[in-house]
Chains A and B, each alone.
Chain A
Amino acid sequence: MNLKAILKTATITELSAGLKNKNFSSVELTTAYLERAKALNDKTNAFITIDEEFALKSAEKADELINKGKQKPLTGIPLSVKDNICTENIKTTCASKMLEDFTPFYDATAITRLKKQGAVIIGKTNMDEFAMGSSSGTSYFGGVKNPYDLTRVSGGSSGGSAAAVSASMCVAALGSDTGGSVRQPAAFCGITGLKPTYGAVSRYGLIAFASSFDQIGTMAKTAEDCGILLNAIAVKDEFDATCHTAPFKNCLKDMEKGVEKLKIGLPKEFFGDDISGDVKSAVFNAAKTFEKMGAEIVEVSLPDLKYAVAAYYLISSAEAASNLSRYDGIKYGHRSKTGKSYEDIIKNSRSEGFGDEVKRRIMLGNYALSSGYYEAYYNRAVKIRQKLKAELDDIFKACDFILTPTAPTTAYKIGSFDKNPVKMYSADICTVTANIAGLPAISTTCGYDKKGLPIGMSLMGKAFSEATLIRAASTFEKVFERREAQL
């Protein structure tokens, strides 16, 4: 069996069947992925760490489980994990100089769940530093390149995970999504990315960026694969007080039901002038496809969308400023060699350890929280957040989910926004509302622009409606002709 050929289009379901039928072992499969990952990492820079030894050991264990007839959906399946999710004994850097040498002695709950199924983690993927960014260009280890065009960004912040799946360096991956960080790179790299409902997946072990937005998400080439991963990691977890006690039993039920009779909302505010023509027409075409398959399209409105990006950046930066204060060079992480007093050591350690984008957010966040400005910034942002939630509640009375672009454009050239961060922030317009309201959203490819770059569309629904979103995305994927990246 030619594993190398299989990898390029393989899904979890197919590989799992291959393992079950003993067409190949997990060790063989893992070896093949490791070879491809190592060979393509110079080109894509998708991985910060590839841990061959650990991967092969896990694969051996998985093969034992399979031989004993104890195979689960992810047993022996090679996955990768974003480098802000703690992995015991494997470096977890957040793509920052600050945590360049940080090795946790504990697993994130999501990792514990993957290991319980006998999944194989082959490495840790590159990202924007501390998940702050939409291009993966703020990584201390250099940016991630888009497998469809190596001169373009992968999107971010989970760009490494997106590129790794897109370039078939692993079959699926975990990312994290604070304002679009799973969905937007999924769109740029032509794969599927799922951001679950806030509280569906435990955040324990996910290194915090903005605690009230952060959510671990799943990335794969199909919506179904995203669902398989989500089923594995979305469980009640007493280690995270914000984790829901009973998220859902199975987000892959009734898959054969299709989209018939589903009401799909098209919120007009998501199709404004800032959205490129190629993207707009691809999403409208997808809406037509849904209609043909039996869904009903309704127009809906989210009038306060224009405030969403500002509210998101204020609250998320405030939380980030607080969350990142613990990196003082005293307990772990980068410690400056200069400075004699405590104040000097933390100032120097933080100045040296954090990159520009992280510093920008820390300053913005502290400003928004500081006395005299709290009411005008942080508190107003919180009010907008409540208003947007209410508006979305109304929308989901009228439809099952809304269909929007995932990003205003396709992947742009590396370095395009380096001098204009605010312009890059505004490009999060399509994704941040899901995080603001804690709602689930899935992005899947719905077309390609003139240059052949993937275009993503997003389906966002009410809390814990993952099953509907996955079913609808999967139904679309079955009639859509996906093009693999040529690497």
Chain B
Amino acid sequence: MKYQTVIGLEIHAELLTHSKVFCSCSAEFGGEENIRVCPRCSGMPGSLPLFNRGAAELAVKAGLALNCKINNFSAFDRKNYFYPDLPKAYQITQFNHPICSDGYVDIGTKKIRINRIHIEEDAGKLIHDEKRKISLADYNRCGIPLIEIVTEPDIRSAEEAKAFTAEVALALKYAGVCDAKMEQGSLRCDVNISIMPESSKVFGTRTEIKNLNSLRSIGRAIEYEFSRQKKLLESGERVIQQTLHWNDATGVTTALRSKEEAHDYRYFPEPDIPPMFITDEEINTISKAMPEMPSARKARYLSLGLSDADASLLIADKALSDFFDLAVKSYQNPKSVASMIIVEFLRHINDSGFSVEEIALPPADLAQLCKMADEGTVSRSAAKDILKQMLKTLEDPMEIAKKENMLMSNDTSAVEKTADEILAANPKAVEEYRGGSAKVFGFLMGQMCRTLGKSANPAIIKKILEEKLNS
């Protein structure tokens, strides 16, 4: 029998606030354990949460970026459960009244509906020391603001799940809501998955795969879980509703807990935080201040004359696209800048293994290099070498060109002298050319360039060489 997969996603994204969501501790990532902790985020007796309104603003931005309705009234609830990484033994979240609802993301082939986006706090981290047989708790992450984006069960394949997640990650990055670094855990994904016969309309029993932190593992986990559930059904067994853990190394899912052991979270309204009201005016203000989103940016690139492929490639990496925009600001030749970035710059980046942000090259420097090549100050081939050097030393392109003697010389006397010498040294080639073989011109050009070095202007060499040969 043919089966189809039914998937719903829950994406957790860390908000880019400076401080935590219910206290004033810094919301930075990494560093020494338990240094960004206070009575509030560590749940000390008598402490009370204080809501960081900045988190609400970012959540509204996320809602706008994902085509959601922004709710004027939202409220916090407590989700109660015991775990050592949760110092209050409850998580403050929004259960009954989320801040955003009813959105969608267009993944090209279809629209995936978003049920809701709500604000909640992150838990700490446990570090298990196998050698000493102890577990340590690090509360730095406690109280980092998160939004949880919950979809409707509209996704039907691993590809769609990956495309949706990538679109969400990109939209959140553009909106300035989340840096969406899956490898650092600032964007994580829970997958709810069930299968049913292709003709069926009734969903099967679902399982939930927790905490996937790369597009690749989302895809692999879905493929694995699909075949696992299929095998069960085909052998006449039932799928059990349970929570699963994905092991990226072994490529299998294992059960964390089944429905019978499922937590009863005993949600109830958080009495320490009054409900939140956001006026239409406030929503409008945020909406007006929204940064350019990927689709708008792509349209702008097309209007600048970029090809669809180039425009898509640029916007897919926000940092690269921002780099392009800054470069174009200082040299208004978008096509030339795009070509330099996509053909040369991107190749170096990929080879280096660093991201665009990590390479500190000023966009204006790359723009200057483009301009130098376009105006014939340096040759195109010299420009490639200069870029390589710039990425290493971050020197100014003009400095490099001067130092490496790559500035094109417009002194024709040296070219003429060399041409005379080369033609004299290669009588056979000259004869062949004059006999009608155009092919040999390339050979003579090569000889000229080698002798004259990078500073020679190929256009001038070509012109003089042609003149001499045709005279």
Query: Which A residues are within 8 Å of any B CB, using their own CB?
Result: 85-86, 92, 94, 99, 102, 104-106, 108, 203-208, 210-212, 238-242, 318-319, 321-322, 325-326, 328, 330-332, 342-343, 346, 366, 369-371, 374, 378
Contact = CB atoms under 8 A, between A and B. Distances in A.
Interface of B: 39, 42-51, 78, 80, 82-84, 87-90, 135, 137, 264, 266-268, 271-274
A325 B88 contact: yes
A332 B264 CA distance: 26
B43 A331 contact: yes
B272 A241 contact: yes
By Cβ-Cβ distance, the 8 closest A-B pairs, closest first, are A325-B89, A211-B271, A369-B266, A212-B271, A205-B46, A86-B46, A207-B45, A207-B46
Contact of B82 (A102, A105, A239, A328): A328
Contact of A239 (B45, B48, B80, B267): B48
Nearest to A342: B84
Contacts of B89: 322, 325-326, 328
Contacts of A331: 42-44, 87
B90 A241 contact: no
A378 B271 contact: no
Contacts of A106: 39, 44, 46-47
27 contacts: A85-B46, A86-B45, A92-B46, A94-B45, A102-B45, A104-B39, A104-B45, A108-B46, A205-B46, A207-B45, A208-B46, A211-B271, A238-B50, A239-B48, A240-B48, A321-B80, A321-B266, A325-B90, A326-B43, A328-B89, A330-B84, A330-B87, A332-B45, A369-B266, A370-B264, A371-B264, A378-B268
A99 B266 contact: no
B268 A322 contact: yes
Contacts of B39: 104-106
A161 B457 CA distance: 95
Given A212-B271, A342-B83, 20 more contacts: A85-B46, A92-B46, A104-B44, A106-B44, A106-B47, A108-B46, A204-B47, A208-B272, A210-B271, A211-B272, A319-B268, A322-B89, A322-B266, A325-B82, A328-B82, A330-B87, A331-B44, A342-B135, A369-B268, A378-B268
Given A92-B45, A239-B48, A241-B49, A326 B266 contact: no
Given A212-B271, A318-B268, A378-B268, A206 B46 contact: yes
Contacts of A104: 39, 44-46
B264 to A, nearest CB: 5
A346 B82 contact: yes
A322 B45 contact: no
Nearest to A211: B271
A240 B272 CA distance: 8
B429 to A, nearest CB: 84
Nearest to A208: B46
A336 to B, nearest CB: 15
Nearest to B272: A211
B82 to A, nearest CB: 6
A115 to B, nearest CB: 16
Contacts of B50: 238-239, 241
Contact of B88 (A240, A326, A371): A326
Contacts of B267: 369
A421 to B, nearest CB: 23
Nearest to A347: B82
Contacts of B82: 325, 328, 343, 346
A89 B256 CA distance: 43
B22 to A, nearest CB: 9
B45 to A, nearest CB: 4
A330 B137 contact: yes
A85 B87 CA distance: 20
A370 B265 CA distance: 8
A326 B273 contact: no
Chain A CB within 10 A, most for which of B45, B51, B83: B45
B78 A322 contact: yes
Given A104-B46, A204-B46, A325 B271 contact: no
A322 B46 contact: no
A386 B260 CA distance: 36
A241 B264 contact: no
Contacts of A211: 271-272
Given A102-B45, A322-B268, A370-B266, A241 B84 contact: no
Contacts of B49: 241
Contacts of A205: 46-47
Contacts of A322: 78, 80, 89-90, 266, 268
Contacts of A99: 45
A319 B46 contact: no
Contacts of B274: 241-242
Contacts of B46: 85-86, 92, 104, 106, 108, 204-208
Contact of A203 (B48, B87, B264): B48
Contacts of B137: 330
A85 B46 CA distance: 8
Contacts of B135: 342
Contacts of B272: 208, 211, 241-242
B62 to A, nearest CB: 23
Contacts of A86: 45-46
B84 A366 contact: no
A332 B44 contact: yes
Contacts of A328: 82, 84, 89
B94 to A, nearest CB: 15
Contacts of B88: 325-326
A44 B42 CA distance: 36
Contacts of A342: 83-84, 135
Contacts of A330: 84, 87, 137
Contacts of B42: 331
Chain A CB within 10 A, most for which of B84, B87, B266: B266
Nearest to A324: B89
A319 B271 contact: yes
A346 B87 CA distance: 12
A99 B45 CA distance: 10
Contacts of B43: 326, 331
Nearest to A350: B82
A102 B88 CA distance: 16
A102 B268 CA distance: 28
B268 A241 contact: no
Contacts of B47: 106, 204-205
A343 B46 CA distance: 25
Contacts of A108: 46
A299 B90 CA distance: 45
A326 B87 contact: yes
A92 B45 CA distance: 10
B100 to A, nearest CB: 22
A31 B89 CA distance: 43
A328 B80 CA distance: 13
A206 B50 CA distance: 15
Contacts of B84: 328, 330, 342
Contacts of A210: 271
Chain B CB within 10 A, most for which of A94, A204, A325: A325
B274 to A, nearest CB: 6
A241 B45 contact: no
Contacts of B90: 322, 325
Contact of A325 (B44, B45, B80, B264): B80
A239 B39 CA distance: 12
A37 B428 CA distance: 120
B463 to A, nearest CB: 76
A211 B274 CA distance: 12
A104 B44 CA distance: 8
A382 to B, nearest CB: 8
A105 B44 CA distance: 10
A94 B42 CA distance: 19
A332 B139 CA distance: 14
A102 to B, nearest CB: 7
A132 to B, nearest CB: 15
A411 B80 CA distance: 38
